[in-house]
Structure 1
Amino acid sequence: MNPVVRVVWEEWADRDLPLPAYATPGAAGADVRANFPLADRDLGMVLAPMQRAIVPTGLRVAIPAGYEVQIRPRSGLALKHGISLPNTPGTIDSDYRGPLGVLLINLGTEPFAIAHGDRIAQLVVAPVVQAGFAAVDVLEDTARGAGGFGSTGRG
């Protein structure tokens, strides 16, 4: 059975906008939209190059225990305009109940306007495993060893 993420609207939110939704049957991410308070709906928001801002969605969520929601950039916004998330993927923990805002950054060269109702990111529901951590005296050797960034080939 698929997990169900329960969603509640903020009091000020525009309930005529759709809840997060999958654009196609095979989509991994559900599109989430900018949902500005009434006073900001006509203006939206403009992100200058290299500017970061939290874009409101008007939503709060309850994620089932054992899952997280990852917030990821939309590929079209990234390719065409340089719009991304500075902490991609962002994680929403199952015990968080605060407002759902999307932290966007404009990596492009031109200001980018975000209008009320624009699809701004995608939400991916994923299982989470909480591991135990144990202090040991020695780690076993591997073929890679201590090689770090770029140690397994070009890049």
Structure 2
Amino acid sequence: MTKQLQPSGGIRLFQVLFKRLPGNEDVQLPRKMSDLAAGFDLHAAVDEPVTLQPGERKLIPTGFAMAMPADLEAQIRPRSGLAYKHGITCLNSPGTIDADYRGEVKVLLINLGQQPFVIERGERIAQMLFQLVPVVELAEVNNLPETIRGAGGFGHTGV
């Protein structure tokens, strides 16, 4: 299934398996666009061009499914260029893909711009970053430890 590799230098390397879904042989699998990029660009696997009207949202397929180690999650985030130039962004951002999900990865896009935007097959639509998920144990208590801030929130710190 998935395995954890140990490269030189003590850096943990995680292997994520990708399965191209039938009919999407022409759609690029996720890939980094530069050596130091944090995210892997995702490409649209739409059967025909999809137009997003201003204010409209649609779920866009990517043409692949994946399997990753249990201590990872994948986060789907907007591409800055689409957001800046066209007002195209991701809802539920960052969207989380859990390690046990095996269905097609899809991206929920919204057009916050003022013009219709057409999504073509193969177009880069979002980016995917992988993050470690810590093991957390929740404990119910009767009292919480005190802090100087206390319950102050929503601008309480002066920001």
Same fold (TM over 0.5): yes
The 10-residue stretch of structure 1 (90-99 or 4-13) with the greater mean CA deviation from structure 2 = 4-13
8 Å contact from structure 2 (residues 27, 63) kept in 1:
no
Shift of 1:149: 1.6
- SS of 1:21 mapped into structure 2: coil
- SS of 1:18 mapped into structure 2: coil
Shift of 1:12: 2.2
| Counterpart Cα distance in 2 of 1:110 and 1:153 | 37
Partner of 2:17: 6
Number of paired residues?
148
**CA RMSD, 1 decimal:** 1.1
Partner of 2:33: 23
| Counterpart Cα distance in 2 of 1:83 and 1:152 | 32
TM-score (norm 2): 0.89
- SS of 2:62 mapped into structure 1: strand
Gaps in structure 1 of 5+ consecutive residues:
none
| Counterpart Cα distance in 1 of 2:128 and 2:26 | 20
| Counterpart Cα distance in 2 of 1:147 and 1:86 | 29
| Counterpart Cα distance in 1 of 2:87 and 2:150 | 36
| Counterpart Cα distance in 1 of 2:135 and 2:115 | 41
TM-score (norm 1): 0.91
Q: Percent identical across equivalent pairs?
A: 48
Letter aligned with residue 4 of structure 1: Q
| Counterpart Cα distance in 2 of 1:143 and 1:27 | 39
| Counterpart Cα distance in 1 of 2:67 and 2:132 | 14
Q: Deviations over 1:66-99 (max 9, x none)?
A: 0011000001111111111110000000000011
- Misfit runs of 4+, over 4 Å: none
Letter aligned with residue 127 of structure 1: L
Shift of 1:130: 3.0
Letter aligned with residue 73 of structure 2: E
Partner of 1:67: 72
Letter aligned with residue 8 of structure 1: K
Shift of 1:147: 1.3
8 Å contact from structure 2 (residues 27, 121) kept in 1:
no
Partner of 2:135: 130
| Counterpart Cα distance in 1 of 2:51 and 2:35 | 32
Gaps in structure 2 of 5+ consecutive residues:
1-5, 7-12
Q: Deviations over 1:28-48 (max 9, x none)?
A: 0000100123xx2xxx10111
Letter aligned with residue 57 of structure 1: T
